[in-house]
Amino acid sequence: MLISVEHEMPVVRYGPDRPGCAPGPEVFTSLWDTLVREGWDRDGKHAVSRSPTLSNPLACKPLQTMTTDTGPTLEIAPSPAESIAEIEAQLRDIRSIAGKKLASQGFALLGSGVHPVVSSTLGDYYRLRTPRLAYDYAIRERGWQHRMVLHIAAMQEVVDVPTERAPAIFAAMNRLAGIMLFLFRNDPSYRSAPSGALLYSVRPSAWREQMPIAGPFVGDRSKVGMPLEEVHTWREYFKLLWGSRMFLLGTKTGDMVYVPEHPTFEQFILHPPTSGWQARRIDSPELQPIAPNMVHVEQTDWTYMGFARLRLFWKSGTTLRELLDAYRDDDAFEQFLKQHLKKVLLENRSSATPPPGYEMNSLAFVSGLIENFDVVESLLGEKPYRFWQAVAQAAECQPLDSLVWDESIPELASRFVELSAVGLHGREKGEDRYLDPIRHMLHNTRRSHSESNLKVWQQGGLDGLLKTLLYGFDS
């Protein structure tokens, strides 16, 4: 089982000159230019990559990458590896490279799931955002309040999963999203939310609030958070992926078009009009004919942005006609996917960026749960889906030491931590130690990172928070 992470960190100015302020896009452009001169490869406008000294031959994309997504955050991704220690070593190395380059411009990396200074105002958004045509399209055409996700950062765990178990693992990660929010939240509202409420985790509400609440694209709300209806099969997962009005054809890095009628993707591939589809590039008003093909199918997995998603790698030679013939029948579709998917990755998306020193805790937790999946699934099945939805909702605003439906969150979370430990023991890599900080949190402090950092904020203000969460330039 190969594993990796996508680690996002806010970038802040540190020093007497406007401490905590965020860099504009030009700082990242300078960073990419410097890294390219030192041997990294350009990957579109907003990213660089390189091959590691040693890479795993089973990895579909054996690269180390650095990029920036919505706003003033740096995202780094190690090349997939078999052990958490290997991922940790790569992460430390890449972070050190970036940290030293940013330090030369007066900036540093922060181990926080929310930028303590940047707001989601339009002014901050247009000043600090990463300019991407996909984002402009979402705002202009679909009514997304994209600025709401400007200032959040995540630690996303990426793990190989078996094709036949992938839908069940996806369902389990959604049921566990609330537990993981409680355990790994590090993104409180240092300044109260617009409603005046205190939030221990702003990440879920930021995703919700960017989505339209009315109009033709209200179905986009199904793309974030937990699915309203639980997914159990591959066909149900593809219905979730393809059932709302189609987003873009293409990737975030370019060659993006949309169909002005905005069909669902299912309609796009199953029911084209007699005269065929016409598409429009997002950077041009001109229409061009477009016929559905397998490349479009391969690009659809990135448009779902819930608490978990599956990334699919297809075998060469797979045809759209074969897929459509199988898609109409549940059993045939399951068999088709077993034959034609080269690899399936789980991308878990509920964890906030951790404080320095806690980077590998969530990866260990998720990896151990998947290794011990049958027992984990059984425990999750003891409660109905609406209970796990209630846990996720509570994790946004309740202390870790809380009850949900008369269930103690620390006690319930501890059961899953120990199930994860069993899974990690089975890997025989000495990875159980990465769960010790979670155990300490549950059995001793009974406070999440968000609760601890709110106390730092209240007592020491921004300066205290920066001293607590800032990475050194060599780490």
Q: What is the mean pLDDT of residues 309-330?
A: 93
Q: Does residue 474 lie within any of the structural domains?
A: no
Round the average pLDDT of the chain to a whole number and report it. Answer: 93
Q: Does residue 18 lie within any of the structural domains?
A: yes
Give pLDDT, residue 253: 57
Give pLDDT, residue 17: 72
Low-confidence winner among 75-89, 164-178, 243-257, 431-445 (lowest mean pLDDT): 243-257
Q: Does residue 324 lie within any of the structural domains?
A: yes
State the Cα angle at 367 between 395 and 51, rounded to 5°: 115
Q: Does residue 373 lie within any of the structural domains?
A: yes
Confidence of residue 242 (pLDDT cuts 50, 70, 90): very high
- Percent of the chain having pLDDT more than 90? 87
Question: 4 pairs with which residues across the strands?
Answer: 158
Total-model pTM: 0.95
- Count how many domains the chain has: 1
Give pLDDT, residue 54: 82
The rounded distance, in Å, linking the Cα atoms of 169 and 232 is 9
Q: Does residue 282 lie within any of the structural domains?
A: yes
Confidence of residue 192 (pLDDT cuts 50, 70, 90): low
Report whether pLDDT(195) > 80. Answer: no
Give pLDDT, residue 473: 63
Confidence of residue 474 (pLDDT cuts 50, 70, 90): low
pLDDT digits (tens, 9 = 90+) for 280-318: 998 888 999 999 999 999 989 888 999 999 999 999 999
Give pLDDT, residue 199: 93
Give pLDDT, residue 60: 84
> The domain that contains 67 carries what CATH number?
3.30.590.20
Report whether pLDDT(251) > 70. Answer: no
Question: Which distant-in-sequence residues (6+ apart) come within 8 Å of 470 by Cβ?
Answer: 12, 14, 108, 109, 110, 111, 356
Q: Does residue 160 lie within any of the structural domains?
A: yes
pLDDT digits (tens, 9 = 90+) for 45-88: 899 999 998 888 888 889 999 999 899 999 999 999 999 999 99
Q: Does residue 475 lie within any of the structural domains?
A: no
Range of the domain at 180: 3-469
Q: Does residue 81 lie within any of the structural domains?
A: yes
